[in-house]
Amino acid sequence: VYQTSDPDQKARARSHTLFPKLQGKTTLLLVFSGQPLSGLFTGVQRWLDVVTEDFLARKNTQIFKLHAEEGFFNRRTAALTKFHLRRQVEENELFTTFVYKGKWKFEYVQALHLYDKNLPVVLLIDPLGYVRWHAVGLPCDDATAVFRSMCKKLATERRNYA
């Protein structure tokens, strides 16, 4: 989301691929569209209120937020979306909140579970970049319980990179 005229920050603020940022850490990725239940201050915030403390208490974890909206118009106005999001997120979240401005492909919908743009998507991604758990919608007791058990499992899991 961060854009700057500071020459020292230009490289950090330019467009980049998300996958390398996911590798090496267990990641909680929250995907939202800006629709009423899927906005930063509704669905995403409810998920963050419920799971952030437990998740970040584990070592080698990170939280990213991704704005993804389908359509030609949304690709063309990605800079405007970044402009508005920059004013809505906290200062420390500027480099962990992203806007997808690429072409909308069915494989992305399938991989990120973006079937309903009205609801937020929560993905738990392991250090290799595999989606290990996902939820679509607002948090409920069952979903948060499964999320916590998956976090614990990923934290204690022996990694075999062979």
Strand, coil or helix: 121: strand
Q: Give the angle 156-98-44 at the CA atoms, nearest 5°.
A: 65
Dist. CA 98–CA 66, nearest whole Å:
5
Residue written as token pair 């990725």: 29
Biggest alpha carbon distance in the chain?
A: 47
Which pairs from 12-21 meet CB under 8 Å and 24+ separation? 12/95, 15/101, 18/64, 18/66, 18/98, 19/129, 21/64
Q: What is the pLDDT along the chain (162 residues), one digit of tens a residue?
A: 445 555 666 665 566 777 888 888 899 999 887 665 566 677 888 999 999 998 999 888 998 888 777 766 666 666 666 666 666 767 777 667 776 677 778 888 888 778 887 888 999 999 888 999 999 989 999 999 999 999 988 888 877 665
Determine the pLDDT at residue 1: 45
> How far, in whole angstroms, is CA 13 from its chain's centroid?
17
CB 122 within 8 A of CB 28: yes
Residue written as token pair 């390398």: 20
CA distance readout (Å), 22 to 17, 18, 93, 128: 10, 7, 16, 8
Dist. CA 36–CA 52, nearest whole Å:
22
Q: Is 53 exposed, middle or buried (0-12, 13-18, 19+ CB in 10 A)?
A: exposed
